[in-house]
Each structure stands twice: as C-alpha cells, then as structure tokens.
Amino acid sequence: MNVIELSPPYLIFLGDVTDTTYAKTGAGLAQWRPELCLGQLSLIDTGVDLGLPAMTVAEAAAAGARSLVIGTASVGGGVPEAWLPTLLEAVSVGMEVVAGVHATLASHPALSAAASAAGVRLVDVRVPPVGIPVASGRKRRGMRLLTVGTDCAVGKKYTALAIDKAMREVGLQSQFRASGQTGIMIAGEGMPIDAVVADFVSGAAELLSPANEPAHWDVIEGQGCLTHPGYAAVSMGLLLGSQPDAFVVCHEAGRTHISGWEDFPLASVDQVIARTVAAGAITNPAIRCVGVSVNTSNLASAEVAGYLSRLEENLGLPCFDPLRQVPSSLLQTLQAMTPAASGLSSEEQENSL
C-alpha cells in the first residue's frame, strides 16, 4: 500500500474551478484536516470558496506554507497548461507541489526541471504501488463496511470518515481505508484504486483491507457507482475485492441525473441496494445494507428531518446526513454484527470465516 508523506501546512490551489463537485479534494482537506490548511488560491474571482483565507503563492510562502496542494479533480484528470505558471511559482519559493490527478506532475518537463533545480518534491498521490496481484476472492478475517453511491461526489468519503469516527467513539475497532486521492491525503495512506490497471482492481482492494482481527472493522471509502456509465468498472472491482459484510448507500438529496452525464437518470436508492447485494454476494454472500447516507446540503434546514424520515420509512433502514450525526441505530447494528459482540468463542469465530 502507498504511504503518503506530505509537508504541511498547505496552500490549497483551486485553479479556475467554479463547481464544488470538482473541488472535492480541497473541500475534503478543509473539512477533515483544517489544521493543516493555511489558505486557498483561486485564479478567478468567481472560483470555489472553501472558507479558507485567500492567499497568493508569495503570501502563503511568507506565512509558512510548505506545500501547494492541487485541490481539484476534473473529469479525466490532468493539470491544465494555464495552471503551470502558478505551480512553477510555488516551486521557485521552495514549496512542494502535491497532486492527485491522473497525469503525473513529473510529466510536465518544465515543472520537473524547476523542481529538480530547486530541490523540492513533486508528490503524485494517484500512483499505485507495483506488484498488485490479481484478486484471490478468498474470504479474509475481519469485518468490512463499504460506502457505495448513487453517483460520484455524493459523500462516500465523508460518510466513511464519519462512520469510522463514530464507531471508534463507541468502542468498536475501526480504521478508515482510503481509496481515492483526497482520502489518502487525509489518512496519510491508502490505495488510489481508480489508477490501478483493470485486471488488478479487486486485488488492490484486497490489499487495501487485509486480513485482521475478527472484531476489527475496515471502513472502506467507495468510488464511483455501479450504475455510472463511465466509472462503474472501478466500483465493481472495489466491491468484489472489498468483500464487505455491510454497506451504506450514499445519495445527494435532489440529484436526479448522473453528474456530467445528464442523459442518464440516477438509479433509485433501492435499486442501488439490490444491485450491490447481487454483485457483492459473488465474494461475500452475507453482504447486507445497513443504512443510507444523504448529503442534504441542497435542502432547507426545515426540510431535512422530514426528508430523512420519509426515506427511512420507505426503506426500513437508518437514513442520516453524516455531517450532522451517525445514528445510534446504525452503530447498534454494526455492534451486533461484530464477532466479539456475538458471544462466539475465538475458535468459533475462526471457523465462521
């Protein structure tokens, strides 16, 4: 597994992005590691605002920033040529440049040469390790929860982080497992699953959540969605390799079509549950849905409780906004599923795997 060592504090670079959907890397760092984020830099006045102080490269360097982190993740991945002057400026003042896009920073000759001359690192988070095996499909010890989505950018990472935190607070053994660039930057380690060659995606997922103690939970960050016309392949590989015992569906209230693919209506939550169970049962017949996480940011505050209540009544599952609260009913379900809470002896736990 890649272990990423970054140099904080960070200046979050947002380029000319105006849609928060495509600034999820910066938003994730600002939300979950604000103590490491010194400021933000946008090239345009109408760009995304993460609520961090606006700074130029020179101002950030003077304030002690050690890394410029590209906080965007556009379709296809890459660093536009128009951004290179800013990256070169950061390198010139001794700041490292960190990116999680598909195209490596070193593939830009001028940037690579400038970094080498300045003696600073170019850090590419989205580079998988060598030697990833083809998946074995064999069941591993330990418990696993995977977040799955009705679309991209609906809260799979935030949900996994919130559930992991809540599980540890009630005494469960839990660890967040990052599968995307932002999650890796937050956790400090992980597997950039969508950068893995297709034949090895499930094997990479097996490496991401290795065998562990029977009562230990890996809370795995999901990617894409099974009904996505562009990204379903990585979602399927991650699902099969993760072998989740439990999964949580993540959805954004009010979204009706696949973001960026407006000809494709969003699958309903119950359709996603059914498809996830059918596919996930290939490697774990005991897979089950334990809840639904909803990004309610598009709803008025007065509408949230009613929306979640109606959804919960329709589905018969805990429905919640992870940035508000992880419900005790979900945590109780996970506690009941945990072998240590089941009353099984150590030998019985081993035999059940």
| Predicted pLDDT of residue 202 | 98
Residue 190's φ and ψ, nearest 5 degrees, are 155, -170
| Predicted pLDDT of residue 343 | 44
Contact 91, 111 (CB under 8 A): yes
Long-range CB contacts for residues 199-203, cutoff 8 Å, separation at least 24? 199/134, 200/132, 200/133, 200/134, 200/135, 201/233, 201/234, 201/237, 201/238, 201/241, 202/134, 202/135, 202/137, 202/237, 202/238, 202/240, 202/241, 203/132, 203/133, 203/134, 203/135, 203/136, 203/241
pLDDT, greater one: 351 or 190: 190
| Cβ atoms < 10 Å from Cβ of 244 | 31
Lowest pLDDT segment from 81-85, 211-215, 316-320, 330-334: 81-85
Q: Is the pLDDT of residue 116 over 60?
A: yes
Q: Give me the mean pLDDT over the 167-184 stretch.
A: 94
Q: Give me the mean pLDDT over the 205-213 stretch.
A: 96
The pLDDT-based confidence of 79 (bands split at 50, 70, 90) is confident
Distance CA 225, CA 85 (A): 35
| Predicted pLDDT of residue 127 | 87
Torsion of CA 153, 55, 33, 14, to 10 degrees: 20
| Predicted pLDDT of residue 353 | 38
Q: Give me the mean pLDDT over the 216-222 stretch.
A: 98
Residue-wise pLDDT for 240-250, tens only, equals: 999 999 999 99
| Predicted pLDDT of residue 59 | 98
| Predicted pLDDT of residue 350 | 41
| Predicted pLDDT of residue 126 | 87
Q: Is the pLDDT of residue 44 over 80?
A: yes
| Predicted pLDDT of residue 74 | 64
**Backbone CA torsion sign across 82, 2, 116, 98:** positive
| Predicted pLDDT of residue 3 | 65
Select from 252, 185, 200, 203 the least CA-distant residue to 225. Answer: 252
**Would you state the structure tokens that stand for residue 114, as one six-digit string?**
């400038």
Select from 328, 342, 12, 4 the least CA-distant residue to 170. Answer: 328
| Predicted pLDDT of residue 317 | 98
The pLDDT-based confidence of 235 (bands split at 50, 70, 90) is very high
Q: Domains of the chain, with CATH numbers?
A: 2-124 (3.40.50.720), 143-351 (3.40.50.300)
pLDDT, greater one: 73 or 266: 266
Q: Is the pLDDT of residue 342 over 90?
A: no
Q: Is the pLDDT of residue 347 over 70?
A: no
CA 352 vs CA 238, 285, 338: distances in Å? 23, 13, 12
Mapping DSSP onto H, E and C, the string for 66-110 reads CEEEECCCCCCCCCCHHHHHHHHHHHHCCCEEEECCCCCHHHCHH
| Predicted pLDDT of residue 24 | 83
| Predicted pLDDT of residue 345 | 36
The pLDDT-based confidence of 348 (bands split at 50, 70, 90) is very low
pLDDT, greater one: 220 or 77: 220
Q: Is the pLDDT of residue 76 over 80?
A: no
Contact 279, 240 (CB under 8 A): yes
Mean pLDDT of the chain: 92
DSSP calls for 123-156: EESS-PPS-PPPP-----SSEEEEEEESSSSSSH
pTM value? 0.84
Q: Is the pLDDT of residue 344 over 70?
A: no
Contact 223, 193 (CB under 8 A): yes
Distance CA 195, CA 233 (A): 12
Q: Is the pLDDT of residue 352 over 50?
A: no
Lowest pLDDT segment from 176-190, 284-298, 306-320: 176-190
